[in-house]
Structures are given as structure tokens and as C-alpha cells.
Amino acid sequence: MRLAELRAAVSRALTLLVATTAVAAMAGCAASNPSPLPPASNPANQTVAPPPSVPLPSAPQLPPPQTSVEPAPFAIAAGPDGNLWFTEFRAHRIGNITTQGSTKPFELSVDVLPERLTAGPDDAIWFTDPAGNRIGRLDLTGAQAYVPLRTEKSGPAGITLGRDGNLWFTEHAANRIGRVTPLGTVTEFVLPHAGGPAGIAAGPDGSLYIAENSGDRIDRMTVEGRVDEFTLPNAGSLPNGIVAGPDGNMWFIELANSRIGRLSPMGELAEFPLPASGTPLSITAGPAGAMWVTVPSAHAVCKVTPDGRAMTFNLPDTVIPSFIASGADGNLWFTEPTGKIGRLTPQGGLTEFPVSTLDADNPHGTADANAGERKKDLLVSQP
């Protein structure tokens, strides 16, 4: 499945689930505790190979930007300022929300479609812009800068901060991994085999771990570009989101199998079925030393402990948890396509906050009125 098809499928699923009535605040989500889940016993296949030349697939096609300013938050990540930051890739906007629930929008240039984002080492938010084939930087004041990528139509997707202080990102359409320094210098690494790199995360060993969703494998890549491949037991698993767990392992979701996977530093793979029925969309390492996974179609968030024990927080039918991140306040925060950000406590208490398109610092005008001034920022550098 190509990333464009995956985005379209997720978008269609979320659209069908949007309720006609908005809920401002909910609390006391029901939780259930199944028995421990047995891990899969299949060992990983590990190979090390130099990167050969591979044909570049065409770039994924994103939907056109929305002309409406109605909020529709997408990806979310913890920021360097203690707030949560989120993208609205169907608009031209990135926003933040404090742990008290106040939101603030930052309008981007009209040709920018921000997708995934992460906090950088420089008190800024870095994000992928597949429409512009570039990496963007947004500082805490709203100033923008962009780094164009060398490979045309590369499809930048996931992005993370590496332990080396650089930003690392996947190029889904070009089968490459990119690195950009805080000063804007870009380096690209071709993966050994075509596989549609999607999610990316830094591991405790300093390597980058990549989920190849069409290749059904997890890659481990050193900062020098050496790659080890770990093939999943089942074909068509579609691994996507990946994060470092508090137990020293890497954890990832499988879109097609409704499973969560675990990869040890020694390359041992284990898989655990999720108790909520539906496609898992996003994963984060969160409170209680657990992994937390959203299942939008089930209106649920699953908690999985390092030994595979799982429980489900069943949310109201009007709540559609999409992308999820851990906040500095010890809670889970997730986006909803209905224009809200949800906060879930480790005990299951839910609160929803509407996303505003107005800038509290400019209450007499919309954030769009400030966009022109912010568009004057220069590029960080040419690649």
C-alpha cells in the first residue's frame, strides 16, 4: 500500500466517523483488562547490505489544501516549551496547546502542507512538507524557514530528533532516509531495498529505527548509514508508527494486523494483538511505563505494558482519537479530525479542547492577518 493510499484510507475512515454533535468535555472512560498476551516466537531475519541503486517510485499525492479555515488537527508532538504542537496538513497551519487547554494557531505560507512534526534541539518545531518537498522549521514566535530536498518528489513523511542533535526523516516515495542539521545541511541515505519508509524514531543505542510499511520490516540505521533489516513474520503487516519504549526496546504498530510489535536491541521480534477492534493509527511511549495506541474506528486508546498486557480505554462514540503524544503533565494528548484536541489521564479521565483559529495575542483579527509578515522569513539554507 502506497502512503497516498494509506492517507486516503485513514482520511475516509475518520471522515465517516465524525459525529454531527461536538462534545466539549468527557470523563471516566471505561477500561477492561484482558489476560496477558502471548508474544510471537518468530525470530527476526537480520541482513546487512550496502545500498544498491533502486528505481524511485512516484511521489504520493496529497489532497489539495482546504480553502476553509476550520481546524482539523492531524499529527501531534511534545514541543520544547512544554506545550503540545500539532499540524493541520489540510490547511496551512501548525498550532500549539498548553497543558491547561489554550490553543494558538500559526499560519504558514499558502503553499505549505505540514504533515509530521517533532521538537528540534534549537527551541523550534521541525516538520515535513510533502507538497513542497522540503523540511520546515517554525520557531516559538512563529517565524518560518524551509530546507528544500535534493531528491525531487521524495515524499518526506515521518521526522524525529536524533541523539546526534540532527533531524532525521523518511522519504517515502524515494526510499531514502534524510538528515538535516539545525543549520540546514541535508544528507540522504538510500535504503538497501524498496519498502516505503514511513515512521522513524531514535533508539537508545543512537541508531535510527524505520518502519517500512510496504516492505514489512523494521530497519536499524546508524548515523553513518549502515542498515540492518528485520523482516516481520507476516507479509502485508504494514508497520507504520514507531517509538522507543521505556524498556529499551522499539515498539511499532501494524496497520493491517491490528497488532503492536516489539523489537529488542538484539533483533528479537515479538507481536501482540490489540484488544480494540480496528486499525491502530498512532503510538507513543507514555505514563506508567507503557505504550499507548490509538484505534480511531473503535473510539479507543489501548495501553500495552512491556510484557504485553493490554487494556482498552473505550471513549464516547463522538471521540475519534487519531495521532497521540505524551505531554509534560504526565497525560496523553491526541488529535481529533473534528477540530479538537483530547487529553486522557493514565486513569482514563477524558477532556476535550476545541482548536481555535484565532490568535489570543491578536484578538481583533484572525491568525491569517499575521501570516503575511511571517512569510518573509528566509530559507535556512540550500541543500
Segment 146-195, tens digit of pLDDT: 999 999 999 999 999 999 999 999 999 999 999 999 999 999 999 999 99
Q: What confidence category does residue 361 fall into, taking pLDDT thresholds of 50, 70 and 90?
A: low
Give me the catalytic one of 172, 193, 299, 364.
364
Residue of higher predicted confidence among 83 and 24: 83
Q: Cα(334)–Cα(324) distance, rounded to whole angstroms?
A: 4
Residue of higher predicted confidence among 159 and 20: 159
What is the chain's mean pLDDT, rounded?
82
Its sign, for the CA torsion 364, 368, 369, 374, is positive
Active-site residue, 364 included: yes
pLDDT value, residue 27: 31
pLDDT value, residue 360: 61
Residue of higher predicted confidence among 265 and 64: 265
pLDDT at 31 over 80: no
pLDDT at 134 over 90: yes
Q: What is the mean pLDDT of residues 66-74?
A: 72
pLDDT value, residue 247: 95
Q: What is the mean pLDDT of residues 271-292?
A: 96
Q: What is the mean pLDDT of residues 278-288?
A: 96
Least confident piece of the model among 44-48, 117-121, 131-135: 44-48
Q: Could you tell me if 195 and 217 are in contact, meaning their C-beta atoms sit under 8 angstroms apart?
A: yes
Q: Cα(157)–Cα(317) distance, rounded to whole angstroms?
A: 30
pLDDT at 366 over 70: no
Residue of higher predicted confidence among 13 and 148: 148
> Which three cell numbers mark 223?
548515523
pLDDT value, residue 60: 38
Kindly tell me the burial class for residue 301, based on how many C-beta atoms sit within 10 Å of its own C-beta (0-12, 13-18, 19 or more). Answer: buried
pLDDT value, residue 150: 94
pLDDT at 14 over 80: no
**H-only helix segments in the chain:** 3-17, 368-374
pLDDT at 62 over 70: no
pLDDT value, residue 357: 82
Q: What confidence category does residue 90 fall into, taking pLDDT thresholds of 50, 70 and 90?
A: confident
The DSSP symbol for 366 reads B
pLDDT at 32 over 90: no
> Which three cell numbers mark 291?
505504550
Q: What confidence category does residue 69 fall into, taking pLDDT thresholds of 50, 70 and 90?
A: low
Q: Could you tell me if 90 and 63 are in contact, meaning their C-beta atoms sit under 8 angstroms apart?
A: yes
User: Where do the domains of the chain lie, and which CATH numbers do they carry?
Assistant: 3-48+69-374 (2.130.10.10)
Over residues 189-246, the pLDDT tens digits come to 999 999 999 999 999 999 999 999 999 999 999 999 999 999 999 999 999 999 999 9
pLDDT at 285 over 90: yes
